[in-house]
Amino acid sequence: MKQHVYESIYLSEKDFQEGRVLFETWDPNARYAWDAGVAIGRFLQGLKAGRLIGTHCPQCDRVMVPPRMFCEHCFVPADAFVPLQDTGTVVTFSLCYVTWDMERVEEPQIPAVIAIDGASRGMGILHLLGEVDPQAVKIGMRVQAVWKPEEEREGAITDILYFKPLQSPSHPITQSPSPQSKRGAK
């Protein structure tokens, strides 16, 4: 099949960096103003007040977080905002030693999916872990939100600085949102 391959011209990183080939560059200046929306707007309001909230689906009874104004499974409107705890369980995590542009960092960032207490099984949010030895992080670990001081909160996901370990035994992992059966029926 070699005859079906076009031998493209290969450049090394050095050729490019030393300008041995012709190229153009452009630095885009892109600015956006995003509306938070109905459900996330309320979520942000809750964060400012130091609370996590979800929404409830009247049909499948899921308590959903991040909150949405509709249930994507049942395709009906959510009927209530539901207060949640600011504690949860680590569903999965990473120890990240690089930035988006592949620069190395000394202390790893610890992103995690955290299943929030009071929401339905497996309903998690993305956040960071802190005040913990990276090597001690475990899936199933119980964690609690560490909030910014009230006067510094601005209605943003960063009003929670990170989640830190709770001093209590690990729970079993929560997985699979419950209405899997619906998918099979489609």
Residues near 175 by Cβ (< 8 Å), separated by ≥ 6?
91, 121, 122
d(CA 78, CA 85): 19
Our measurement of the distance from residue 124's CA atom to the centroid of its chain's CA atoms, rounded to an integer in Å, reads 8
Two tokens at 122?
A: 């497996």
d(CA 147, CA 130): 12
d(CA 174, CA 163): 17
The residues that bridge with 114 in the sheet, in sequence order, are: 90, 125
CB of 135 to another protein, least distance (A): 10
Contact between 145 and another protein by CB under 8 A: the answer reads no
CB of 80 to another protein, least distance (A): 18
CB of 58 to another protein, least distance (A): 18
Restricted to residues 86-115, the positions that interact with another protein (CB under 8 A) are: 91-102, 108-109, 111-113
Instruction: Give the residue carrying structure tokens 């949405």.
Output: 68
d(CA 157, CA 24): 38
Of 100, 166, 87, 154, the closest CA to residue 127 belongs to: 87
> In the complex with another protein, which residue's Cβ is closer, 25 or 167?
25
CB of 105 to another protein, least distance (A): 11
Which of the stretches 2-10, 81-89, 142-150, 164-172 binds another protein when contact is defined by CB under 8 A?
A: 2-10
CB of 28 to another protein, least distance (A): 7
Contact between 11 and another protein by CB under 8 A: the answer reads yes
> In the complex with another protein, which residue's Cβ is closer, 64 or 143?
64
Contact between 10 and another protein by CB under 8 A: the answer reads yes
Contact between 127 and another protein by CB under 8 A: the answer reads yes
Contact 87, 104 (CB under 8 A): no
Could you list the residues that contact another protein (CB under 8 A)? 1-13, 15-16, 21, 25-26, 28, 32, 34, 36-37, 40, 43-44, 64, 66, 68, 72, 91-102, 108-109, 111-113, 122-128, 139, 156-158, 173, 175-177, 180, 183
